Chain A
């Protein structure tokens, strides 16, 4: 029975650790959710569960055009950046994983350099460059820096996935009569799909959550994304506290990420390539 007690002891220890981590991560989130449902009068009462439930905060934010417009900006900019970064990243990663070309190490090194570059040091130069080029406060003005910083991420993640696809599968497809394009479409792409979706999620979250570029490179609702727009929320007068609305907006912008992850999670099946080759 010693085994049983050891197992139970271990299980409960791990369970305790799990609970601590969960509480640590989720309490602030739940606190924000709770705040978003409180009425103005009870906002500061310190109760975790609202005494009076209200949808008013949600109704308010969707009535202001500022929030709705910035939500549209966020969705548009994040999706366009993700698509471009993943498409370019797929091609670059495939080349890095499969081909030997001069300057390969330089390319890998450069992308690592970009990933490590402190973004805040680029804000002022970018601000000046974009103003001169007329990109300031436009969608491309945000999409371009997002792609720049998302590409290293997507190249790294994807080349790891491509490296796991056995080279011989492509040779086998060629022997079976496939053109290089057919081999890529029918054999490599389906196997790389989980990697592409994983990368897409990571890149999307990166673009969606960005605050630094969003606040520095935008000035109006023409391109301001939600994280930046949130900081501009004010009450209708200076005595009014916008906490409820900020919380409601925070909850709303979390939803797309949850949906995105849930939607693609099913496609990220680990071990899809098992059985291709022995070992």
Chain B
């Protein structure tokens, strides 16, 4: 158990490519931190630098206040779970889990006891004498976890540990990873691409983009108060909808109609000295079928007519997909997000709006619908630098 501090840690490759740039993170003892971002954002490189598998080009990494930049992985007392599990195929499950203890020259009796204890926590007791080749994906993943927990390391590093499992198993393992971490109280640094894992697992989330930290905060804070377009678009599923808009006389004009700014939004916008052209962001759940909004509430938002292209009924809610007139919002951040999610390859996907409606909505495909959205919940972004103009500390 330990506090891990990344102090302006950077990684520069010999060919000049900058993978990670001046990352500052302080991970408190026992904290569960998630590193999230699109592929190539430097999250795995950051993890490997903490592990000692990659050299730190500049900056300092401290574990429990001691500089460990120059220490070999084995001297850092950190355990790692790999995406591919990296189990030793020639050893049984028991030997795999005992391997770190044997290297540490722990006596046989203790090794036995610790392995059995870990096997019990992970429900692997029945499989201790089998070889990894004879295990299912979920079991292999648990063995990899077991190998990490047997020696009570100062910290766990996990590199997309659940990404090789199928959806159902991933859900189950997500819960058990969270439970084990709480039970052991070990400082954990967890890398993932999956934003459900990012939202549900961590105490705090670090969003990375192109080697730069975009924002650090609790999952809910990041969701409610994204620092910029990138975080806003990355956190949340389905993601936030973006439409270009203009600010004039405290009114916001966009393809979603004309909305007077609420007092709260106006104050924030004034403080941020917003430009005239902005991008407005609306979360899917802040839309509603206008027919279902009470009269008193309706005044706090704007209504417009949408032509529903696709309607997905989930039972408890309905997702309405529609396109709005005019140009799609364009910004460097949005292009990157689209490239990462693959939606850049789908024609017309960029101007597509997703709205979450109540299950009672009478919306139908290929028909018009009056859609209302909450004017107080909108976010405004500066298209030139992606900054959130409605950011609240």
Contacts and interface: CB of A to CB of B under 8 A. Distances in A.
B88 interface: yes
A6 to B, nearest CB: 34
A191 B33 CA distance: 35
A122 interface: no
Nearest to A182: B103
B104 A168 contact: no
B73 interface: yes
A11 B156 CA distance: 56
B140 interface: yes
B140 A169 contact: no
A175 B88 contact: no
Contacts of A275: 87, 89, 131-135, 140
A169 B91 CA distance: 12
A278 B140 CA distance: 9
B284 to A, nearest CB: 34
B212 interface: no
Contacts of B140: 275, 278
B227 interface: no
Given A174-B73, A176-B99, A166 B84 contact: yes
Nearest to A179: B74
Contacts of A278: 84-85, 137, 140, 164
Interface stretch (B75-83, B174-182, B200-208, B360-368): B75-83
A274 to B, nearest CB: 5
B255 interface: no
Given A177-B103, A274-B133, A278-B140, A171 B86 contact: yes
B74 A178 contact: yes
Interface in B73-126: 73-74, 78-80, 82, 84-90, 99-100, 103-104
Most chain B beta-carbon contacts within 10 A, residue among A173, A176, A187, A273: A176
Contacts of A169: 86, 88
B100 A274 contact: no
Interface in B262-307: none
Contacts of A279: 84, 164
B356 interface: no
B148 to A, nearest CB: 8
B72 interface: yes
Interface string B149-183: 00100000100000010000000000000000000
A270 B120 CA distance: 33
B80 A175 contact: yes
A181 B74 CA distance: 13
Interface string B49-69: 001110000000000000000
B100 to A, nearest CB: 4
A109 interface: no
B147 interface: yes
A172 B90 contact: no
A175 B84 contact: no
B100 A176 contact: yes
Nearest to A190: B90
Contact of A276 (B53, B78, B79, B132): B132
A191 B73 CA distance: 22
Contact of B104 (A177, A191, A273, A274): A177
Nearest to B75: A177
B74 A168 contact: no
A190 B82 CA distance: 21
A161 to B, nearest CB: 14
Interface string A155-185: 0000000000010110111111111001000
B103 A191 contact: no
A114 B322 CA distance: 66
Contacts of B51: 175
A99 B311 CA distance: 53
Contacts of A174: 52-53, 72-74
A168 B85 CA distance: 8
Most chain B beta-carbon contacts within 10 A, residue among A174, A175, A186, A191: A175
A272 interface: yes
Contact of A178 (B82, B90, B103): B103
A126 B151 CA distance: 59
B164 to A, nearest CB: 4
Interface in A224-265: none
A133 interface: no
Nearest to A165: B89
Given A175-B80, A176-B100, A176-B103, A277 B85 contact: yes
Nearest to A170: B86
B215 to A, nearest CB: 29
Contacts of A272: 89-90
Most chain A beta-carbon contacts within 10 A, residue among B74, B132, B157: B74
Contacts of B53: 171, 174-175
A187 B132 CA distance: 14
A191 B133 CA distance: 14
B227 to A, nearest CB: 33
Contacts of B84: 166, 168, 276-279
Contacts of A271: 133
A172 B135 contact: no
A277 B163 CA distance: 13
Given A175-B53, A177-B104, A279-B84, 20 more contacts: A166-B86, A168-B84, A169-B86, A171-B82, A171-B86, A172-B80, A172-B147, A174-B52, A174-B53, A175-B51, A176-B79, A176-B99, A176-B103, A178-B103, A191-B90, A271-B133, A274-B133, A275-B135, A276-B87, A277-B86
15 contacts: A169-B86, A171-B82, A173-B99, A177-B103, A179-B74, A190-B90, A271-B133, A272-B90, A274-B89, A275-B89, A275-B140, A277-B84, A277-B85, A278-B85, A279-B84
Interface of B: 51-53, 72-74, 78-80, 82, 84-90, 99-100, 103-104, 131-135, 137, 140, 147, 151, 157, 164
Q: Give 9 nearest A-B pairs by CB, closest first.
A: A275-B133, A277-B84, A275-B132, A172-B86, A176-B100, A168-B86, A276-B89, A177-B103, A175-B80
